[in-house]
Structure 1
Amino acid sequence: MTRSIKARLLGFAVWCGAAAIPAASLQAETLSDALSAGYENSGLLEQNRALLRAADEDVAQAVAALRPVLSWSASASTSWPRENLDRTGQDYLQTSLGLTAQLTIYDGGLNQLAVEAQKETVLATRESLRGVESDVLLRIVQAYLEVQRASSSVDLRQNNIRLIGQELQAAQDRFEVGEVTRTDVSLAEAQLAAARGLLASEQGGLTQAIEEFRAAVGRAPDNLAAVPLAPIPDSLEQAQQIARRNAPDLLQAQRQVTIAELNIRRAAAARRPNVALQGTLGLDPNNDFEDSEQLSLSVQSPIYQGGALSSAVRQIQNQRDAARNALIYTARQIDQSVANAYSLLAVARATRTASAAQVRASNVAFDGVREEATLGARTTLDVLDAEQDLLDARTSLVSAEVDETLATYSILAAIGLLTAEHLELPVQIYDPSAYYNLVSDAPAGMSPQGQALDRVLQSIGH
C-alpha cells in the first residue's frame, strides 16, 4: 500500500475506479502543460488584455489633443417665396465650402499633463493584467493539485473497501466455524457500508475537481504527473522584500498615487489661460469659387465658475489622499499574504513529516493486529479500527504533500513571480508594450501604422 500511494502522488491518477495502467505506457501531463494551456485559452486574460489596449488608446487620444485639428464643412441653402428666383428661373441656391485648422498654442500644460496621467494609467493597467495572470495561473495550480488529491482519496477509499471486504469474508468464515459471533460479522458489514458511502462522496469530490480543472485550463485532466515544489525565497523576510518591489497590487497602488498627483496639477492648470490659433479657408461656388482666408488668435481664461474649479482641486486632493492610504493598506496586505503563505507551508511540512511517521507506525500496527486476529487474540473490530487508523494516516499524508506544494506556488503568487515568464512556460508571452508602441504617437487611420493596427486587431479576433 505505501508503494502504491507513492505512485499516486507522482501523478498516475486512476479516474473514478478505472483500472490502473502501467506508468511506462502513459505520457503524463505535467503542470507546465496545464499552465500553458490555461494561459493560452483564458478568456479572463484576453478580457484584461483588451482593457489594457483600450487604456493604450487613451494615451493616443491625449496625444492627439496636442496636435492641430483640421476639419472641412459644406453647406447649401435656398429661400422662398418665389420672388427670390434668380435670372434662370431656378430657385436661388446658396452654397459654400470651408476648411478650418485649429491649434492650441498654450493651455497651461493641461494637455501634456493629461498625456502623462494616461501613461501612468497604462502602467497601472499593466500591473492589473499581471495580477490577473497570477490569479489565473494559481487557480490552475490549485485545480491540478485538487484533482490529484481527490484522485488519491478515491483510490484510498477503494483500497479500504477491498480490505474491509476481506475482513468481512474472514469474519464470515470464522463465524461459520464458531470462532466469532454474529456481532463481528455485523460490525464488518456496517463498516463496509459506511466505506461505500464515503467512496461515493470522494468520487463526487473528484468529479467536482475535474470540472474545476476543465474551467481553469479549458479541457479535462489526463494522467497528471507529479508537481515539483516551486522555488521560493529562503526566508520570509527575503520574500517580503521581493514582494514590496514586485507585487502587482502594490505597484498598481503606487501608480494610482502618481495619477492622483498629476490630476491635481491638471486641475490647477485648468485655471490658466488657453491660447488657440485658428485659420479658415472658404470657397464661394456662387462667385467663381472666390476664396477667403481668415486667421485668428484667441485667448481665454476662466474668472469665476461658481467655485467649480476650486471644488475640483479639493476633490482630487482627497482622491490623492485616498490613494496614498490605499497604498499603505496594500503594502500591509502584501506582507500579511506572504507571511500567511509561509505559515501554511510550515504547517504542511510539519503535517507531512508527522503523517509519514504515522503511516509507518499504523502500517506496522495494522499488520500486527490482523495477524493477532487470525490467532484469536484480536477481534474483527480491532482489525477494522487499525485499518481505519492507517487510512486516516495515508489520507493525511496525501493532503499534506498537496498542501505543501500548493503553499510554495501561493508564495510565488504573493510576491508577484507566478507569471508565465518567470515559470518559463513554453508559450508565446504576451507583450503588453507591443500595442502601446503602435498607438502611443496616435497614428491616423489611413496611415501605414494605422493600417498595421487594423491588421493587429483583426489577427486577435476583432
Structure 2
Amino acid sequence: MNTVKLIIALLFSVLTFGQDVAKKEKWTLEDCIQYAKEKNITIQSAALDQNSAEVNYSQSKSSRWPNLTGSASQSLSNGNTIDPITSDYVAQQIHSTSLGLNTSVTLFQGNQVNNQIKQNKFQVDQNSMYVKEAENNVVLSIVEAYMQALYSNDGVTIALKNLESSQKQMDVAKARFEAGSVAKKDYTDAVSQVATNKYSLIAAQNTYDLQLLTLKQLLELEPEDAFEIETTINNLVVNELPDKIEVYTNALAQMPEIQASKLGIAISEKDLDIAKGTFLPTLTLSGSLGSGYTSTQNLGFADQLDLNFNQRVGLSLSIPIFNRNQSKSQVQNAKISIEKSKIEYRTVQKELYKKIETAWQNAKASLEQTEQAIAAKEAAQESYTLAQKKYELNALSTSDLVVAQNTLTNAEQNYFQAKYLSILYTQLLQFYQSNEIKL
C-alpha cells in the first residue's frame, strides 16, 4: 500500500511540475532546459526508439525457450480412404477428431541466438545514447535560441531608447523652427529620424517575438500559452579559456554520440559472429502429444482419446553443406560493415573536435571583441553625450546628432552581440566537459 502511495505521489509531482512551469511568468534558461527534456517531441521520439530496442532485446532472450502450439481438427471422409486415427484403409464414411500439442527448442545454432541477444543489448545501450544525444541537441538549440532572444530583447531596449531620444529632439527642433532659429530641414530631419526609429523599434520587437516563438516550439508549448523569458542574467566573467585538447579529451569520454558510435562497431562485430554461425550445424529437440477419435472404432469419445494417446520425442540435425555462398556473402558484408562502422567512429570524432575547436576559437574571438566593444561603446556614449549638449545649445544640427546617435547604436549592438556570443561559446565549452549550463 505504501508503494502504491509513493508511485502516486511521484506521478503527481511530475504532473504538477509541468503545470507549475507552464504557468511561470518568466522562464530562466534552466527552466527551459528542464522542461524541454520532458516535453520535446524529438527527445520523446528517441525514447520510443529505445523502448522498441528494449522490446527486441527481451524477445531475443525469449528465443532460447521452447515453443508450444496446440492443434485440433475435425474431418469427414467418404469412400475409400485412410483413417486419420488408426491409419487403416477403409471404405466407409468417417467422422474423426484429432488433438495435439507440439513443441520444439533449438539446442545449438552456431551460437547465433546468444550473439543475437548480445547484439540486441548493444542496440539498447546505443539507443540510450541516442536519447542523450537528442537531449543534448535540444539543449544546445535552446541555449542558442535563448541567447538570440536576449540579444533581440536588448535590441528592443536600444530601439526604444533611441525613439524616446529622437522624439525629444523632434520637440526641440519643432520649437526652434517655429521660433525661426533653425531651418526647416533641421526640423524635417528630426521628424524623419523619429519615423526611422519607430520602424527600427517595430523590426526589433518582431525579431524578439520570433525568437520567443522558436523557444516555445522547442518547449512544445501551445500557441495560446503566454511565454516570456528572464532577461536579467548573471555577469559570467571568464578569466581564461580551458585548454581545448583537455576539453576534447573529456568530451571523447562523455559525449553520447561517441559512445553510440563505439557501440555501432560492437553491433557490426556481432553481425560477423552471427554470419559465421551459419556455417555450423543446427540441432533441434522436438516433441509432441496427440490423440483422436474416429467413427470406425466402436468406443466412446473419452475411451478413444485414452486409447489413441501418443507421445513423440525427436532430435534433428541440420548440417549446411552448400547454400549458394549465402553464408560466405554474409560474412563478407559483415566485415565491410565493421570497417564502415570504424570509419563512422573516426568521422564522429573529427566532427566533435571541429565543434570544440570552433567553439574555442569563437569564444576567444568574442571575448577579445567584447573588450574592444566596451571601449567603443564608452567612447560613442561620451561622443553622443557631448553632441547632445551641443544640440541643446543649438551648436549642432539634427543630422549631426543623428550621426552620433547611430554611432552609439551600432556600438551598443556590437557590444551586446559580442557579449552574448562570448557567453554562448564559453558555455558550450562547459557543456562539452559535461558541466551544467546556466546563466
TM-score (norm 1): 0.79
- Residue 157 of structure 1 is aligned with which of 155, 159, 163? 159
SS at 1:288 equivalent: helix
SS at 1:385 equivalent: helix
Is 1:294 aligned to residue 312 of structure 2? yes
Against the structure 1 CA distance between its residues 416 and 254, is the aligned structure 2 distance closer, same or farther, given a 3 Å change threshold?
Answer: farther
> Are 2:241 and 2:364, in contact at CA under 8 Å, matched by a contact in 1?
no
Q: Aligned residues: percent identity?
A: 19
Deviations 1:306-345 (CA, angstroms, capped at 9, x unpaired):
1221111111111111111111111111111111111221
- 2:281 is matched with 273
> Are 1:146 and 1:209, in contact at CA under 8 Å, matched by a contact in 2?
yes
- Residue 374 of structure 1 is aligned with which of 377, 381, 392? 392
- 2:34 is matched with 36
User: Which of 174-183 and 364-373 deviates more?
Assistant: 174-183
Equivalent positions of 1:6-405 (< 5 A) are 28-80=26-78, 92-219=94-221, 220-228=226-234, 229=236, 234-286=242-294, 287-289=304-306, 290-405=308-423
- Quote the offset at 1:92 in angstroms: 3.3
CA distance in structure 1 between the partners assigned to 2:131 and 2:241 by the alignment: 24
CA distance in structure 2 between the partners assigned to 1:261 and 1:223 by the alignment: 48
> Are 1:103 and 1:278, in contact at CA under 8 Å, matched by a contact in 2?
yes
In the comparison of the two structures, how many residue pairs are matched?
391
Against the structure 1 CA distance between its residues 28 and 204, is the aligned structure 2 distance closer, same or farther, given a 3 Å change threshold?
Answer: closer
> Are 1:134 and 1:416, in contact at CA under 8 Å, matched by a contact in 2?
no
Deviations 1:111-145 (CA, angstroms, capped at 9, x unpaired):
11111111111111111111001111222222322
- Quote the offset at 1:222 in angstroms: 2.6
> Are 1:175 and 1:185, in contact at CA under 8 Å, matched by a contact in 2?
yes
Against the structure 1 CA distance between its residues 82 and 308, is the aligned structure 2 distance closer, same or farther, given a 3 Å change threshold?
Answer: closer
CA distance in structure 2 between the partners assigned to 1:234 and 1:285 by the alignment: 84
- 1:435 is matched with none
CA distance in structure 2 between the partners assigned to 1:230 and 1:257 by the alignment: 42
> Are 1:66 and 1:111, in contact at CA under 8 Å, matched by a contact in 2?
yes
SS at 1:384 equivalent: helix
CA distance in structure 2 between the partners assigned to 1:150 and 1:81 by the alignment: 92
- Quote the offset at 1:412 in angstroms: 4.3
Give 1:105's aligned amino acid. L
Give 1:417's aligned amino acid. S
Deviations 1:252-307 (CA, angstroms, capped at 9, x unpaired):
11111111111111101111000111111112244233311111111002211112
Structure number with greater CO (CA < 8 Å, separation at least 6) is: 1
CA distance in structure 2 between the partners assigned to 1:319 and 1:336 by the alignment: 25
User: Which of 357-366 and 344-353 deviates more?
Assistant: 344-353
Against the structure 1 CA distance between its residues 103 and 416, is the aligned structure 2 distance closer, same or farther, given a 3 Å change threshold?
Answer: farther
Deviations 1:31-60 (CA, angstroms, capped at 9, x unpaired):
222222222222222221111011011111
- 2:14 is matched with none
Against the structure 1 CA distance between its residues 416 and 134, is the aligned structure 2 distance closer, same or farther, given a 3 Å change threshold?
Answer: farther
Give 2:434's aligned amino acid. L
TM-score (norm 2): 0.83
User: Which of 340-349 and 173-182 deviates more?
Assistant: 173-182
> Are 1:138 and 1:409, in contact at CA under 8 Å, matched by a contact in 2?
no
Q: Root-mean-square deviation (CA), in Å?
A: 2.6
> Are 1:230 and 1:409, in contact at CA under 8 Å, matched by a contact in 2?
no
Deviations 1:160-186 (CA, angstroms, capped at 9, x unpaired):
111111112222222233332122122
Against the structure 1 CA distance between its residues 100 and 84, is the aligned structure 2 distance closer, same or farther, given a 3 Å change threshold?
Answer: closer
| Bigger radius of gyration | 2
CA distance in structure 1 between the partners assigned to 2:305 and 2:66 by the alignment: 30
Give 2:168's aligned amino acid. Q
CA distance in structure 2 between the partners assigned to 1:362 and 1:155 by the alignment: 17
CA distance in structure 1 between the partners assigned to 2:369 and 2:379 by the alignment: 15
Structure 1: 5+ residue runs without aligned partners? 1-25, 425-462
- Quote the offset at 1:416 in angstroms: 6.7
> Are 2:126 and 2:259, in contact at CA under 8 Å, matched by a contact in 1?
yes
> Are 1:264 and 1:317, in contact at CA under 8 Å, matched by a contact in 2?
yes
CA distance in structure 2 between the partners assigned to 1:84 and 1:342 by the alignment: 86
> Are 2:149 and 2:211, in contact at CA under 8 Å, matched by a contact in 1?
yes
Against the structure 1 CA distance between its residues 116 and 233, is the aligned structure 2 distance closer, same or farther, given a 3 Å change threshold?
Answer: farther
> Are 1:62 and 1:114, in contact at CA under 8 Å, matched by a contact in 2?
yes
> Are 1:103 and 1:276, in contact at CA under 8 Å, matched by a contact in 2?
yes
CA distance in structure 2 between the partners assigned to 1:42 and 1:299 by the alignment: 52
> Are 1:233 and 1:239, in contact at CA under 8 Å, matched by a contact in 2?
no
CA distance in structure 2 between the partners assigned to 1:248 and 1:324 by the alignment: 16
CA distance in structure 1 between the partners assigned to 2:168 and 2:206 by the alignment: 25
> Are 1:213 and 1:221, in contact at CA under 8 Å, matched by a contact in 2?
no
SS at 2:315 equivalent: strand
User: Which of 76-85 and 324-333 deviates more?
Assistant: 76-85
